[in-house]
Amino acid sequence: MSSYAITGASKGIGREFVRQLAADTNNTVLAIVRNPESPEIAELTSKHPNVHAIKGDVTDPQSVLEAAAAAAAVTGGSLDVLIHNSNAVDVASMSYTPTQMPFDAQAMRASFEPSLSTNVYGGLWTTNAFLPLIEKGTQKKIVHISTGMADTAFIKKAAVSVAVAYSIAKAAVNVQVAKYAVELAPKGIKVVAVSPGWVDTWEGK
């Protein structure tokens, strides 16, 4: 029996993680979402008794701590795998190249804030909040969803100059993951960043 916690589980890749993992009835799957009573989550929990919807907003550190406590109550205090999948972007600036980014402090912050809050700040808060559970788990794995858009070699090869804030935030995630991997390796905890490639998600249609 394995236990999994997935953030950003209400749609897209996160929701599919929940659905696929829940197909094995031996798994305990914790769907961390802002609204546990949403129709999307209700559908999953009704179909899969091993799915537990837990309220949690990764941009709110207190909410993340409460989600970790709720997860511990379900699993008995341990967790095998944490998947930090939450992500948000400023849609208005996604098509901008670096030279098109707003020359205005407030507008620039607005471009970066959604991606930084969910990926970087949220990644730190979520990892730290759930770490005590991971330490008691069997598999001891932490996965952060990244992107090829954060890979400088890929950016140059594919000639992708847009999605500036999103790509920079995900690049920060890669560094963050490397730091965690070094720190937590002596405890037998594996921390990795994974790029799923282009996926036809709710955002990416």
For 76, residues 6+ apart whose C-beta sits below 8 A from its C-beta are none
CB count within 10 Å of CB 47 equals: 10
Out of 121, 140, 170, 180, pick the active-site residue.
170
Q: Which of 183, 53, 69, 61 is nearest to 126 (CA)?
A: 61
CB count within 10 Å of CB 116 equals: 21
pTM of the full predicted structure? 0.96
Structure tokens at 30: 């914790």
Out of 4, 121, 140, 166, pick the active-site residue.
166
Options 3.40.50.720, 1.10.645.10, 1.10.565.10, 3.40.30.10; CATH of 3-194? 3.40.50.720
Per-residue pLDDT of the chain (205 residues; tens, 9 = 90+): 899 999 999 999 999 999 999 999 999 999 999 999 999 899 999 999 999 999 999 999 999 999 999 999 999 999 999 999 999 999 999 999 999 999 999 999 999 999 999 999 999 999 999 999 999 999 999 999 999 999 999 999 999 999 999 999 999 999 999 999 999 999 999 999 999 988 877 554 4
96 is catalytic: no
121 is catalytic: no
